[in-house]
Structure 1
Amino acid sequence: MAYASSLPDGAAADTPNTPDTPRVFAWTVFALTFGLLISDYMSRQVLNAVFPLLKQEWQLSDARLGLLSGIVALMVGLLTFPLSLLADRWGRVKSLVLMAGLWSVATLGCALAQDYSQMFVARFFVGVGEAAYGSVGIAVVLSVFPRHMRSTLTGAFMAGGMFGSVLGMALGGAIAAHVGWRWAFAAMALFGLALAAAYPMIVRPSRMADAGRGRAAGARPPLASLFAGRALRAAYIGSGLQLFAGGACIVWMPSYLNRYYGLGADRAGIGAAVLVLASGAGMVLCGMLSDRLSRVQDNRKVSLAACYCMGAAVLLGAGFLLPPGAAQLVLVGCGMFVAAGASGPAGAMVANLTPGAVHGTAFATLTLANNLLGLAPGPFVTGALADRVGLDRAFCVIPLASLAAACVFAYARRHYDGDCAVIGGSKG
């Protein structure tokens, strides 16, 4: 059976639909692209599971450890936009294979690093390879499915980053505990290289209509529309601030469990992976709740984003003020669940507040904001605070970023309806 197109004639300027794409092939494309996303985040987050081992072996400060994580997010943030544009011109499938090969080889370089400087260079190239994978990968997936499945697929694809983080930390911690931290990096690299080799043999642009070359038809996209309207700019900022707190928790949770719960690298990695899994579930379930509650009144998703951020600030703040124990872990887990919930509404806001012809570039801009405001500085600032006051007290300060994000989304709510009307409607 082939999927039928739900787009009218002339709508190809948005992500194209392929009326003759077989269902099995479409889901195979999704599975392989999703698998590479899993590899992307496994390669990125395995570092967090081996923080305690690197700190001990190389005598590193927490700030320097945080920089090893932050450099990846920084390169993703800086390069997402230009590399997404290049992929549209050069070919998306070829670009994805090149990206996956680069981050996998760079992860192998992490396994071979002999000192901090070599590890930093390898992590730099991990970030370069991963920079545009999210925006280009979702474009490939959407190109082989009908329009009415876009929200479901986008939510599932974004949650894949959390699930990859879970696997990276859990498997990385277990491997490091048994055969050493170098093999933890090597295992992630080999998984990525295997998928990168299989991808072009199965996912062929000739079977995907415009998927291999996602250039929109017509005139040059109006890049000024990427920043038009106060609600849109607030969506970028609010999403980035919320990920400042969420990203810091994900990166430093293995170290927190190691230092304050006395867990080894393997058990700390597994424990942190469970909390990250809560974030992935929150991204999916809170996004579904947002869509359901916003069917009649679309601006409710903006209010919900503010509520999710406020809930995260309260739950995480209260949790980290408690002494180590079951109650703390429950509150922190609930906080991470709610914290990830803002991702869905923020993405919907960006889609609703920009013209359809520039949605791909708009999501690259959102990724830029998420990394430059959240995922890059969050781990580094937390590490720097930990060097001064301890990791437990640093975690008590980080939830203030979620409080700031709630204020930004509340500001966006005031302007959302008017800004939607300017671009021609508020679609859920």
Structure 2
Amino acid sequence: MPGGRTVLALAGVMSLDSADQSTIGSTSPQVRAALHIGQTQIGLLATSSTIVGVLVTVPFGVLADRRNRLALLRICIGAWILATAAVGAAPSFAYMLGAHCVLGLVTGAAAPLIASLVGDLVPRSARGRVYSVLLLGELVGSAVGTALSGEIAASVGWRWAYVVLAATGSTVLLTVFAVREPPRSTARTALLAETGADAATMTLWQAIRVLVRIRTNVVLVLASALGYYYFTGVQTFAVSLWRDDYHVSAKVAPILVLAVGGALAVGVVIGGPLGDSLLRRGFRSGRVIAVLVAFGGCVLFLVPALSTTMLAVTVPLLLVAGVLLGSANPPLDATRIDIVPPLLLGRAEAVRNALRDGADASAPLLFGVLGSHIGLRPTFLVMTGALVACLLLGLVALRTYAGDAAAAAGEPVDSNA
């Protein structure tokens, strides 16, 4: 794999944020008892780092296109380690909340910095595989945060869970120090030449005007936001769905959630290489085809799965739907890298990240409101409309991707693409 050591280091970075978010939930019973707080304060802890991430992601996107990206990541990881240790030592909720806000640095910085590095480090034919590794890192971090932190909190105390998390962050920091900054692409595309401005120095608004002219970028940003919107809502209420609608016990419900999570991981492993393989076999829009198959197949299995309360039917169908949904993400992420000029990748990913996280913030609320009126299972069914919208947007991208990818690479654009 191109840049294997660097890719593994970046996967470690992605695992940190997901591990932190999962640790909040898995240690919440002990934290609430120790600090005499309620569920609202726990929710605020989780939200605080996300809000900070949204606020800082665009500035980091600008820096990603102009400064040493690995140096920025090292600074952010160092701050994250100190903040994580501070959370574990927090004598009060206010202290803990302040430390959690600092954790948002990794949330905001990771996406634009990693996208820019992948664009310069990895050739187009291998980006799907690389994003499979990166997304697996995120899933592993989430699983470790949920299982390991919860076990540590129950066995020796919640503060030790954050000590172990900080130690893990130190390991990731060492791996990032061990890799070198790749050279930046100097490709001068026709799209940038038309603006008359230098990509590295153009203002954010100039960059956004260039990005919205890339049709595939616009539709894929929308598709990504909708896909994550659905996933965030489902993730929030998955255990409640099993308990309330399928009458599963408190012990079995988390196991089913983990099983679906495992299916998502299998899909992540499959999706990236599949898109790369189609591209190498001469399908110029092979990645988009992989995304369309994933979203379309997911809806076909998800709707009948949620249309019945028979576990023997629902569980197998949901597992297949999980594999298909997971397989959409690596080629979707790689496609966004393909279609943006390299010198704008940081800002492009920052804008997408801000829009996605901003939309995600409202997903649990909408799912909760609908669930209280019509029930969770009907809510999950109704909200599959977001995945149908992703499928329709993918059909648009199927027509525009090949030309936009060629233009971003500075290649001649086939008018028939």
TM range (shorter): 0.7 to 0.9
Alpha-carbon offset, residue 258 of structure 1: 6.7
1:334 counterpart residue number: 320
1:308 aligns with 2:294: yes
What does the per-residue CA deviation read over 1:227-273, in whole Å, with 9 as the maximum and x for residues that have no partner?
Answer: 21333211110111011112333344356557753335xx7656534
Note the residue ranges of structure 2 that are not aligned, 5 or more in a row: 189-197
| Aligned counterpart, 2:62 | 85
Aligned match of 1:280 in 265, 281, 304? 265
Task: Return the match for 1:413 from 384, 395, 398.
Answer: 398
Equivalent residue of 1:262, what SS? coil
TM-aligned CA deviation for residue 279 of structure 1: 1.6
1:60 counterpart = 2:39: yes
- Relative to structure 1, the CA distance from residue 116 to residue 340 in structure 2 (aligned partners, 3 Å threshold; closer, same or farther) is farther
Match 1:291 to one of 276, 283, 286:
276
CA contact (8 A) 2:7 2:133 kept: no
Q: Any residues of structure 2 matched to 1:98-247 within 5 Å, and which?
A: 98-111=75-88, 120-137=97-114, 139-140=116-117, 149-196=126-173, 198-199=174-175, 202-203=178-179, 205=180, 208=181, 210=183, 219-221=198-200, 223=207, 224-247=209-232
What is the aligned counterpart of 2:21 among 44, 58, 70? 44
| Contact 1:172 1:269 (C-alpha < 8 Å) held by counterparts | no
**The residue matched to 1:283 in structure 2 has which SS?**
helix
Tell me the CA shift for residue 95 of structure 1: 1.4
Segment of structure 1 superposing worse, 387-396 or 407-416: 387-396
SS of residue matched to 1:354: coil
SS in 1 for 2:250: coil
Q: Work out the CA distance in 2 between the residues paired with 1:120 and 1:80.
A: 20
Conserved? CA contact 2:199–2:344, under 8 Å: no
**For each residue in 1:365-388, what CA deviation from the matched residue of structure 2 results, as whole angstroms up to 9, or x when unmatched?**
4433432334x3334433454566
Which residue identity lines up with residue 227 of structure 2 in the other structure? Answer: Q
Provide the residue aligned with 1:345 in structure 2.
331
Confirm whether residue 323 of structure 1 aligns to residue 309 of structure 2: yes
Deviation string 1:324-369 (CA, Å, 9 cap, x unpaired) is: 7354333323222212222233234323433344334333344334
Give the superposition deviation at 1:317: 3.8
For 1:316 and 1:66, locate their aligned partners in 2 and report how far apart those are by CA, in whole Å: 29
Q: Does the Cα contact within 8 Å between 2:274 and 2:290 map onto a contact in 1? A: no
Give the distance between the partners of 2:84 and 2:387, measured in 1 at CA: 31
Matched, 1:32 2:19: no
How many residues end up aligned between the 2 structures?
392
The change in CA–CA distance for 1:332 and 1:52 in structure 2 (over 3 A counts) is: farther
**Contact 1:41–1:164 (Cα < 8 Å) also in 2:** yes
* Letter in structure 2 aligned against 1:263: A
Which residue identity lines up with residue 286 of structure 1 in the other structure?
Answer: G
Q: TM-score, normalised by structure 2?
A: 0.76
8 A contact 1:99–1:130 mirrored in 2: no
Q: Which amino acid aligns with 2:392?
A: C
- SS of residue in 2 equivalent to 1:158: helix
> The residue matched to 1:131 in structure 2 has which SS?
helix
Contact 2:60 2:350 in 1 (8 A): no
CA distance in 2, matches of 1:119, 1:385: 32
Distance change in 2, residues 1:227/1:168 (3 Å): same
Sort the Cα spacing of 1:268 and 1:107 in 2 relative to 1 into closer, same or farther, 3 A: farther
Alignment deviations for residues 38-86 of structure 1 (CA, whole Å, 9 cap, x no partner): 223211222344567778974436xx76665455444434432321332
- Residues in 1 aligned to 2:38 and 2:307: alpha-carbon distance in whole angstroms: 29
Q: Which runs of 5+ in 1 are unaligned?
A: 4-22
Q: Which amino acid aligns with 2:178?
A: I
In the alignment, structure 1 residue 262 sits paired with structure 2 residue 272: no
- 1:308 shift after superposition: 2.2
Q: Is the 8 A contact 1:293 1:300 kept in 2?
A: yes
> Which residue identity is paired with 2:16?
S
Verify the 8 A CA contact 1:107 1:123 in the aligned structure 2.
Answer: yes
TM-score under structure 1 length normalisation: 0.74
Identity of counterpart residues, as a percentage? 23
Seen in structure 2, the aligned counterparts of structure 1 residues 299 and 87 have a Cα distance that, compared at 3 Å, is closer
How far did residue 132 of structure 1 move? 1.4
The 3-state SS of whatever aligns with 2:39 is: coil
Q: Where does residue 250 of structure 1 map in the other structure? A: 235
Q: Is the 8 A contact 1:225 1:354 kept in 2?
A: no
Answer yes or no: is the 8 Å Cα contact 1:279–1:339 preserved in 2: yes
Give the residue type in structure 2 aligned to 1:130.
T
Aligned to 2:193: none
Q: Distance in 2 between matches of 1:329 and 1:114?
A: 43
